[in-house]
Structure 1
Amino acid sequence: MRKTTAVAAALAVALTGAAAHADERADGPALAPLGTYSTGAFDQAAAEIVAHDPRHQRLFVVNAQAAAVEVLDVSDPAAPAKLFDLVVPGTPAADGSVVEAGAVANSVAVHGDTVAVAVEAADRTDPGWVVFFDTRGNALNAVRVGSLPDMATFTPDGRLLLVANEGEPDDDHTVDPEGSVSVIKVNRRPAALTQRDVRTADFRAWDGDRELPGGVRVFGPDLSTGEPGTPGRVARNLEPEYIVADTAHSAHVVLQEANAFAVLDLRTAEVTDIVPFGVKDHLEPGNELDPSDRDGGIDLRNVPVYGMYQPDGFDTYRHRGRTLLVTANEGDVRDWDGYSEDARVKDLELCEDSPRLRPYLDTHGLTAADLQRDENLGRLTVSSATGLTGDGCHDELYSFGGRSFSIFTADGDLVFDSGSEFERVIAEENPEFFNSNHTENGFENRSDDKGPEPEGVTLGEVDGRVYAFIGLERVGGVMVYDVTDPEDAAFVDYVNHRDFSSEPGTPGALDLGPEGLTFIAAEDSPVPGTPVLVVANEVSGTTTLFRVDL
């Protein structure tokens, strides 16, 4: 661990010219922990996605380690108590299959008295299932969906369930299923569902006559068979990650690795468009980052790197007649035994005459070899698949994630990005553990790889204003922003329910690795008249409820 004086000195240099955020915070709600439920499992993905049942004041929390969904009673939010598990193996499905042993719950959604659980097959390249329960825990039915169902959500009216089938390859990259979205006609009668109620939206049109927009990443080995009627390269390459149903008729689907999102028509169960997110230029003022864990301290600077936004979780809201996407720009790398794009800058051959790199090198009096030193960009994780020229050298560098949250229009236009603010706030508030990992208390051990790593985001309205709550997977905590005016979104608060004085893996460390966030409006809250934020923490296996007080 660094000495406090050394960190403070480095911080003073890193933040020269930047006003302290303590003086810049906008008015807004404060988060105060109410109560925590702990599984006692460390680094086992024991608390991932969380959904709320307002009728019975229950939380449904995905525990991948137990291959189940834990049901918690939060009628007393200060003392969440486990009631029972939703166990998915052994459930008969409408297509005649049975959910197999080894199947894993990945996601959960609740609407009314219906609970839907997305279930990954024991071999993730095989088709998965959705298992339906009532909120009392009775299994009602199951239907078959695509490979690796990773996220499930109901439309606002509860008539449809949407499932993101990620379709990742196997570790050897010898089998690569197509990505798709299952559109399931629930109509509030899950027990009566048949396999005919499941429609599949795929991306095969972009292997045919439709032109894929520039900026949508399609890369890596092509395992297409070329046989008529089978998925081609694009259909196999695109991997739906997260869905938000904006209305009863439309939804947006993030394609994280492709750095894009899809538009889904729910009436026809068809993907109507694919839109690239674009990239973030870390040379632009306000987009600084700390790119090295070997630079001797906190050093936020502009560097010749493009950040691919690649959001994981996102949410949407309406502003002046427009649908806006609010994204947590985590970043994700394809890294399998049979194929990997994961690389460090020092391991790449750089094009020294690059129009992107050359001006930076000349301005700073550097050579390409200087740039590739550990204290500069050498340690930074980037894509070996993007920015590569036909000559075999990289003339541009692309890192994973934006280390930020953003607001986009439904056409993919950037309205707002928080820039370098996450790293600046962390540096100011907890400099000794700047860019710490979630499995150890460290200093800067994530600077070279996605920084604080924003994972999920949820929106909530408090006293007529809209706020974004963004979870930071690595260092931990939740960033709060007022996004009522999207073009002038403002930082409100940063709350980290993590105790760095305790070792990760011990109860005293509290919350580690925020994964899923759910906002409970005041009218649905277990605290009468007061909104509540729920955060499921993957590494600590804890689920914590926070009051949201003005």
Structure 2
Amino acid sequence: MKRIGIVVLMAGVLFSCQERIGKGVPVFTNFSEVSDIDISQGGEGAAEISAYDPMTQRLFVVNNELDSKVNVIDFSDIKNLMDLPGESIDVTPYGGGVNSVAVKNGLLAMAVEANTKTDNGSIVIFETTNLITPIQVIPVGALPDMVTFSPNGQFIVSANEGEPNDDYSVDPEGSISIIDVTDGFSYQTLGFGAFESQKEALMDQGYRVFGPEATLAMDTEPEYVAISANSTTAWVTLQENNGIAKVDLLGKQITEILPLGMKDYSKKANVLDPSDKDDAIELGNWPLKTYFMPDAIVAYSVGNTDFLITANEGDAREYDGFEEESRVEDLMLDETAFPNWEELQKKGNLGRYTATTISGDLDGDGDFDEIHGFGGRSFTIWNANGAMVNDYKTLEMDLINTNSSLYDDGRSDNKGVEPEAVEIGTSGGRTYLFVGMERADAVGVYELRGVGSIEFIQLLKVGDAPEGVLFIPEEESPNGRATLVVSSEDDGVIKVFQN
């Protein structure tokens, strides 16, 4: 096996690669921190997803630290943020917890799960000028995990994950709900039952259907939504399943499931550090494949052609009633496929790496002919039909080369930096891509040029476990400057950066 050592070039908090780091040239930043605010009371889950309303200059932040609520923050003076506890929204009258918020045209939409998460949830809608009484409470599928508005404000779309309960005795179907704001908030919830006949073909292309006694509809778990610039098409990540659903918003129909295949780490360009016990940050090639399993997704267009960008976090199913993870050292490896299996299973090599037990036994004889893992440790550009344009393979290398102290080697064996959030925005004629890395407490800033050319710009140090990354364009910003808001769930810190 070939190992590629990493040379640390510079360390710090904010760095730019507009001019290449390490060549003796001046280093400058494009985004600088201007303020922050801590909304926690010492626990976790205090600053998850954020949404901004330019009409009231308020920031709305999901807070599940104690009783579930949405914090309301005065954002009018961007350098002096103020939490407004008297205006916060108590979510408990509407269900068991809020998972996501979105704002458009003076409306605030909240995705609220039921008190029993396997029951159907709700999208609760307020006017941003009246946070006392909702104007609509709309039933959707089980466990609405993400909600967003279409760019034209016509549609509200929610991804209803439909997770099972802990002993896996109840497994509701995953679904996608479409609410038409312009038609009196009419709504429709779409399931995946029509794709049952395609299950084998989809699985042959890398789609995962594997829950105990689950149909494809039960096993499919929608995660995150992106919508085309013309507001006619949505793409919804199906994280645990390693796919994307394509949705016709006008026709109210899921038209396709797009399997995402696998990433082969035996290929020279694909490198990772698979061990937390090797006392080194050492990226290299290994005989394993991983599912991309994206969390967040954004859409953009070049001309009239749509493209997608996913943050390939990875996610395994871990329940009392079913668990798919195993260390490679505990797998029975096929000795023909892995003639050096004893060496591979050492803790400093692949032994500590977390793999799935539900795939990899290609011939069904009880041992593993391939090792399959979780997440791409990257972000990827796809076309509108799920074909790969560019897998940005050096996300972790950018972090390590810029500030190696932010790389948590203790997570090397399990999904690495965990790219979870992705956002896109335009400022000064440049298109920026922001990638939140949950296990590195950092956001990578990139410039996107044309269809798929990507340039690393800088690294931002943020709070503990960034969950929400929000871009506010100049025309909506309180002070007329492009703004990035990063909310972190493990410490409740919201950081604001401006261009």
Would the alpha carbon gap of residues 210 and 280 (structure 1) be closer, same or farther in structure 2, given more than 3 Å must change? closer
Q: CA deviation at 1:53?
A: 0.5
Matched, 1:524 2:476: yes
Separation in 1 of the partners of 2:33 and 2:8?
Answer: 34
TM-score normalized with structure 1 length:
0.83
Matched, 1:115 2:108: yes
Matched, 1:383 2:356: yes
Q: For residue 221 of structure 1, what is the amino acid of its counterpart?
A: P
1:350, 1:393 within 8 Å by CA — same for their partners in 2?
yes
Q: CA deviation at 1:174?
A: 0.7
Separation in 2 of the partners of 1:293 and 1:471?
Answer: 22
Question: Match of 2:447?
Answer: 482
Separation in 1 of the partners of 2:135 and 2:70?
Answer: 15
Separation in 1 of the partners of 2:468 and 2:329?
Answer: 34
For the aligned residue pairs, the C-alpha RMSD in angstroms reads 2.3
Q: CA deviation at 1:477?
A: 1.0
Q: CA deviation at 1:198?
A: 1.8
Equivalent in 355, 369, 372 of residue 398 of structure 1: 372
TM-score normalized with structure 2 length:
0.91
Q: CA deviation at 1:547?
A: 0.6
1:17-36, aligned counterparts within 5 Å? 22-23=21-22, 30-36=30-36
Q: Structure 2 unaligned runs (5+)?
A: 11-16
Separation in 2 of the partners of 1:316 and 1:117?
Answer: 21
- Residue by residue over 1:215-269, the C-alpha shift from the partner in whole angstroms, topping out at 9 and shown as x without a partner, is 111112014xxxxxxxxx0000100000112132211010001111010011222
SS of match in other structure, 2:475: helix
Q: For residue 383 of structure 1, what is the amino acid of its counterpart?
A: T
- Residue by residue over 1:367-388, the C-alpha shift from the partner in whole angstroms, topping out at 9 and shown as x without a partner, is 2011011000010111111212
Matched, 1:291 2:274: yes
Q: For residue 91 of structure 2, what is the amino acid of its counterpart?
A: V
Would the alpha carbon gap of residues 13 and 205 (structure 1) be closer, same or farther in structure 2, given more than 3 Å must change? closer
Deviating more after overlay: 311-320 vs 81-90? 81-90
More strand by share: 2
Separation in 2 of the partners of 1:372 and 1:410?
Answer: 40
Would the alpha carbon gap of residues 210 and 346 (structure 1) be closer, same or farther in structure 2, given more than 3 Å must change? closer
Separation in 1 of the partners of 2:9 and 2:269?
Answer: 10
Q: CA deviation at 1:346?
A: 0.8
Equivalent in 466, 484, 488 of residue 537 of structure 1: 488
1:43, 1:538 within 8 Å by CA — same for their partners in 2?
no
Question: Match of 1:514?
Answer: 466
Separation in 2 of the partners of 1:492 and 1:485?
Answer: 16
1:371, 1:378 within 8 Å by CA — same for their partners in 2?
yes
Equivalent in 234, 237, 245 of residue 254 of structure 1: 237
How many aligned residue pairs are there? 479
Question: Match of 2:187?
Answer: 198
Separation in 1 of the partners of 2:125 and 2:167?
Answer: 33
Q: For residue 81 of structure 2, what is the amino acid of its counterpart?
A: P
* Percentage of identical aligned residues: 39
Q: CA deviation at 1:135?
A: 0.6
Equivalent in 359, 364, 372 of residue 345 of structure 2: 372
SS of match in other structure, 1:523: coil
Equivalent in 375, 378, 385 of residue 411 of structure 1: 385
Q: Structure 1 unaligned runs (5+)?
A: 1-11, 91-98, 224-232, 359-366, 437-443, 498-510
- Residue by residue over 1:64-111, the C-alpha shift from the partner in whole angstroms, topping out at 9 and shown as x without a partner, is 223111111111111111222112333xxxxxxxx34xx101111111
1:298, 1:434 within 8 Å by CA — same for their partners in 2?
no
Question: Match of 1:86?
Answer: 89
Separation in 1 of the partners of 2:197 and 2:460?
Answer: 48
Would the alpha carbon gap of residues 188 and 206 (structure 1) be closer, same or farther in structure 2, given more than 3 Å must change? closer
Separation in 2 of the partners of 1:132 and 1:541?
Answer: 24
Separation in 2 of the partners of 1:467 and 1:248?
Answer: 21
1:146, 1:179 within 8 Å by CA — same for their partners in 2?
yes
SS of match in other structure, 1:187: helix
Q: For residue 78 of structure 1, what is the amino acid of its counterpart?
A: K
Q: CA deviation at 1:482?
A: 1.2
Q: CA deviation at 1:286?
A: 2.6
